[in-house]
Structure 1
Amino acid sequence: MEQTASLVCSRYIFLLLLMGAVTLHERVGGDPRTQTFQLTCGPQLENNRSIFVQNFVVAMENISEQMRTTGFGQVVAGSGPDADYALAQCYGDLSSLDCVLCYAVARTVLPQCYPHNSGRIFLDGCFMRSGNYSFFQEYTGPEDRAVCGNTTRKSSAFKKSATDAVNRAVAAAPGNKGYAHAQVAVPGTNESAYVLANCWRSLRENSCRLCLENASPSILGCLPWSEGRALNTGCFMMYSDKDFLNKVPETGNGSSGGTVIVIIISVVSSLVVLGVAVAIGVHIRKQRHIQKKRKGSNDARNLVKSLNDSSLNFKYSTLEKATGSFAEANKLGQGGFGTVYKVGFL
């Protein structure tokens, strides 16, 4: 209960500060696309709470430093069954400021998977995954899927343009550090099909190509719907009839205001994760206290069993014989639990 309350409170604080940061950010940046599209938690529970939480917090702090400078990070914290392997990446059209904003949201949502020891989250601007084994080279898996928009059905001309845009992005991304975007006009209209394709930078070029080639048929299966996403183990792809892409800013085009926001969001997200860790620590101590109480009750049950099994446990017939059928002559007086008798023999 303490864990849930602290997590909710921390997220409210974070969101309030994020709203203020985004207001300033509109003057200096694009769209960080912080909408959480899918959160998936693994089936296994953590092995040791204290070690798991400590490793998770360390991993989040280390990966934050990498995200602020490169928009990508991977780290290993700890060893054994509670080690934390973490990977995070922003999509290639996000500026440094957009990336920090998107990652800050991902970092505060992923702890909802606790006490499960793994999870992955897709936002429309970034991706994050955490687990207890090295998954950095994985590019396909059973959870790969396409998610289709269902607001508007498009024409066959849009379908053809979207297919062309997807194929262009898939062909270009592996040789371009895993990222590509494409825009193809729809003939006879003022519309275009927009596509983004992005592999995680931990993949080799060939693995990136295989991931995107696996994702493209599934996302094209969304047509003629106006929007579709491929959420794959090693890559992300999206097409839309709306221009959702940011224009990547020129190098050195940042501002001091943007830097301040980056610092604010980084600090706040760190505090949120720390708050979650503290809440989990309180939860652990409470559970230990409860277990001690339960252990005490078990000791009481064991004592009763020992007494029942010991020579102090007499049959009624034995007591009747020893007290002379509870004769008045053997009565010593009245105790708190009834009449007290003198025993002639045992």
Structure 2
Amino acid sequence: MASSRLRIYVFLFVIHYFALTIAQLELQYHECYINNGNYITNSTYEANLNRLLNSLTENPRINYGFYNVSYGQNPDKVYAIALCRPDMEPSSCSDCINVARKNLTSLCPNKVTAIGGYDDRGYNNCMLRYANYDIFGLMENAPYFFVYAESNITENLIEFNQTRQRLLERLFSEAAARPSPNKYATGKEAVSDIVTMYALVQCTPDLSEADCKECLHDTTKLMSKCCDRRQGGRVINPSCSFRYETNKFFKPSIAGPPGSPDPVTPEPPPRKKNHTILITVIVSVVASVILITGICIFLRVRKLKLEDENVEETIAKSLQFDFETIRVATDNFSDANKLGQGGFGAVYKGMLLNGETIAVKRLSKNSKQGEIEFKNEVLLLARLQHRNLVRLLGFCLERKERILVYEFVPNASLDHFIFGMFTLLYSLE
């Protein structure tokens, strides 16, 4: 009896631990749409937004992982869409969206439009977006985000690319043709005798067949930016996404709520003693399996976290410039090379030793941001890609200096450097 009680306590502890871990996850991608404006604190729009987001997870089975709701009256009406990967359990989908809504409003305070979500290489995958305009049935392919595997294809590259193209084309057509709310498709195809490719594609179910197919084809145009020669990759935008890997990363999808169970013919009751023994054995076996599974999941999550930290450290080192290189490139930050001055510091034109022309943003020294926070934001900037944003080449963090190095675009407005993506991050302070 004591042993059974101990197993139950351990099981409840494991479940509670993982619930807290999920609740503390930060969004793995987000965009605050800084050009779409802000709402005023304690305004009608803020009250409508909070009311709408709080209602998202009241019914975890609504539309099988797809939520599209609106609240309020114009001009303070709010629209929201939430979407989970189709193989998520309804309760997990609800939990994921609940965490996303809390983190997104914190990361994008007072923004009328925002998008964010999770893609943690496991089954915790969801996307949430809200706006002050009607987004239902509207196909939007920007902003976009991508994730890719660290391992490259070392052989049979042509066969690999051809297989990926065939598989994705087939799944694009299948997903687009499926009726709402199930606009997704999964599949696999052999690359060689020992390598199999798996893929999952998905559209928001409110899209038409034509818009879904167009959106998915648009994502493949970004393949060269994220996934060339990679063993796996994923591209995400507000209306659709695709993912492929050489390992099976999805499980059988949840098509809808379970139906009524088949009728069972009653059996004669067993003897009381045998019945008690059977229940004890079943409970013990189930509790043991759950405990072992929980431990395995914990060890797997910890391993992936350590791997991600090592990858981020490598990326940070590859982006870092030394101060002397930047000083020489800008002729000691001479006024002749100064392009302008903004609220966060001055911008200079410079030239590296390899002849590449750069724009150097020297941030004010009165910033209260620490070294770790600065590096984390630089890593995020380096991953963000958008046609309207100037590309970040690297940074410098020496002698109490905080310097950003951008590609120099001759015909671009100076605002791209002074009020560019970095303003988005610092506006959150």
Relative to the length of structure 2, the TM-score reads 0.48
In 1, distance between residues paired with 2:164 and 2:175?
16
Q: Secondary structure at the residue paired with 2:57? A: helix
Contact 1:200 1:235 (C-alpha < 8 Å) held by counterparts: yes
Identity percentage of aligned residues: 23
Aligned to 2:95: 101
Structure exhibiting the larger radius of gyration computed from Cα positions: 1
Aligned to 1:38: 29
Within-5 A mapping of 1:1-346: 20-21=15-16, 23=18, 36-43=27-34, 44-47=37-40, 49-70=42-63, 71-112=65-106, 113-124=108-119, 125-144=125-144, 147-154=146-153, 155=155, 156=157, 157-176=159-178, 177-189=182-194, 191-219=195-223, 222-248=227-253, 252=258
Contact 1:85 1:133 (C-alpha < 8 Å) held by counterparts: yes
In 2, distance between residues paired with 1:194 and 1:253?
29
Q: Secondary structure at the residue paired with 1:52? A: helix
In 1, distance between residues paired with 2:77 and 2:133?
7
The verdict on how the C-alpha distance between 1:235 and 1:142 changes in structure 2, with shifts beyond 3 A counting, is: closer
The verdict on how the C-alpha distance between 1:22 and 1:93 changes in structure 2, with shifts beyond 3 A counting, is: farther
In 1, distance between residues paired with 2:254 and 2:95?
16
In 1, distance between residues paired with 2:13 and 2:212?
33
Structure 2, gaps ≥5 residues long: 1-11, 120-124, 261-429
Contact 1:66 1:73 (C-alpha < 8 Å) held by counterparts: no
Contact 1:66 1:72 (C-alpha < 8 Å) held by counterparts: no
The verdict on how the C-alpha distance between 1:21 and 1:83 changes in structure 2, with shifts beyond 3 A counting, is: farther
In 2, distance between residues paired with 1:120 and 1:233?
8
Equivalent position amino acid for 2:208 in 1: R
Q: Alpha-carbon deviations, 1:156-215, whole Å to 9, x = none?
A: 1333332222122111101123111111122131x3212111111121222111111211
Between stretches 84-93 and 212-221, larger displacement belongs to 212-221
Equivalent position amino acid for 1:135 in 2: I
In 2, distance between residues paired with 1:67 and 1:142?
28
In 1, distance between residues paired with 2:147 and 2:253?
26
Equivalent position amino acid for 1:252 in 2: P
In 1, distance between residues paired with 2:33 and 2:138?
16
| Deviation for aligned residue 1:37 | 2.9
Q: Alpha-carbon deviations, 1:85-139, whole Å to 9, x = none?
A: 1111112222212312322221222112111111001322111101111112221
The verdict on how the C-alpha distance between 1:18 and 1:161 changes in structure 2, with shifts beyond 3 A counting, is: farther
Contact 1:153 1:224 (C-alpha < 8 Å) held by counterparts: yes
The verdict on how the C-alpha distance between 1:98 and 1:220 changes in structure 2, with shifts beyond 3 A counting, is: farther
Structure number with higher relative contact order (C-alpha < 8 Å, ≥ 6 residues apart):
1
Contact 1:119 1:129 (C-alpha < 8 Å) held by counterparts: yes
RMSD of equivalent CA atoms: 3.1
Structure 1, gaps ≥5 residues long: 1-16, 25-30, 255-346
Q: Secondary structure at the residue paired with 1:65? A: coil
The verdict on how the C-alpha distance between 1:148 and 1:62 changes in structure 2, with shifts beyond 3 A counting, is: closer
The verdict on how the C-alpha distance between 1:18 and 1:151 changes in structure 2, with shifts beyond 3 A counting, is: farther
Q: Secondary structure at the residue paired with 1:36? A: coil
User: How many corresponding residue pairs?
Assistant: 230
In 1, distance between residues paired with 2:142 and 2:52?
26
| Deviation for aligned residue 1:19 | 7.4
Contact 1:165 1:195 (C-alpha < 8 Å) held by counterparts: yes
More helix by share: 1
The verdict on how the C-alpha distance between 1:23 and 1:143 changes in structure 2, with shifts beyond 3 A counting, is: closer
